[in-house]
Amino acid sequence: MNAAALEREYTSNALTVLSEEEDLFRASVREFAEGEVRPRVEKMEHESKLDADLIKQCFDLGLMAIETPEEYGGAGSSFFNAIIAIEELARVDASTSVFVDVQNTLVTNAIIRWANEDLKRKYLPQMAESKVGAYALSEASSGSDAFALKTKAIDKGDYWEINGQKLWITNGNEAEIFIVFASINHEEGYKGITAFIVEKSFEGFSVGKKEDKLGIRASSTTELILDNCRVPKENVLGETGKGYKVSIETLNEGRIGIGAQMIGIAQGAFEAALYYTNEREQFGKKISDFQAVQFQLAEMAIDLEAARLLVYNAARLKDAGKPFLKEAAMAKVYSSRVAEKISSKAIELYGGYGYVKDYPVEKFWRDSKIGAIYEGTTNMQLQTIAKLITSGK
């Protein structure tokens, strides 16, 4: 029996916090995930590449422009619906989920919030229709210390010239529109950082090595090379020297997206474990009849519900325009731990079958590990939480 043959029967009671519209949206994304994504998962995993037809379908269904206002060709929906989509896709395939996640919570989100009207009208319709986006902040010397970046932008009068190298860029192979962070004055530290919208076709821009990863293997993670890359003067996103604000505030929202990805992974792993324990027999009865197994499943369900509610709460706060920094950090930390814990326990419940690729749970575990790393490591989130709670915020 392979992953595609597993029936999904577990339904979370947390669904009751959704409105009727949100519930219908979840159902439509789940139908897409089951009908179109699941049959492609094994092949995409083996080839370490997203299916081109699947990418097109993500655009056709409006999943790549969920929050984008209708006037720019988007769905004009909520951040919470973007979170629902990310979760439902991750329940089947984390690679497809992060592909949609980065487009919505990072790239289009940043353009909607920080771009001037000309840039919005130029890029948002393209990203709603067919063009993939990527977010380029990290470098070899700047991971958690994001503002130690060395990529430099020089004002050449009627254009900017950017030189540097970016690493760990999600959607690097598929993307045609990149938000690139560079310093216009290293002596000013973070105050010199500026965000630019860079197109793949710009002179001096190229995509480099694709990483060979532990998990989310169908999602491309690449380096970017900017060698005297010419960027039009008008392609500054926000204000010069204010790129640090663009990055911090965008990533704060993006971390809720990672939380959604993690609860989706945890949901998928839990459902697989629940199904298997109801099918597998040992000592003359189903292993789900043993109290020890029942208690493990109960613990998994508790952890999953707690993680989901943390993520949903952070998303609701964001949509309500209320502070959510602490809640986003908490949601990311806890959901990434839960995803790894539940998928690991699922492997144990499968026994030897859990360790082979004919069954789905080893992939859920591999996909879960990145949650503690990207868009802010667990240690950085703990630092943020500690700072906020000790200051009384």
Q: Give the active site residues.
A: 375
Instruction: Tell me the C-alpha distance between 12 and 170, whole Å.
Output: 30
Amino acid at 262: M
Instruction: Tell me the C-alpha distance between 341 and 260, whole Å.
Output: 16
DSSP helix/strand/coil, 205: strand
DSSP helix/strand/coil, 367: helix
Q: Which long-range contacts (CB under 8 A, 24 or more apart) does 312-315 make?
A: 312/14, 312/17, 312/80, 312/83, 314/256, 314/259, 315/79, 315/80, 315/83, 315/256, 315/260
Instruction: Tell me the C-alpha distance between 32 and 326, whole Å.
Output: 33
Encoded tokens for 368: 């879960």
Instruction: Tell me the C-alpha distance between 264 and 172, whole Å.
Output: 23
Asked if 246 and 114 count as a contact pair (C-beta separation under 8 A), the reply is yes
Amino acid at 313: N
Instruction: Tell me the C-alpha distance between 363 and 112, whole Å.
Output: 34
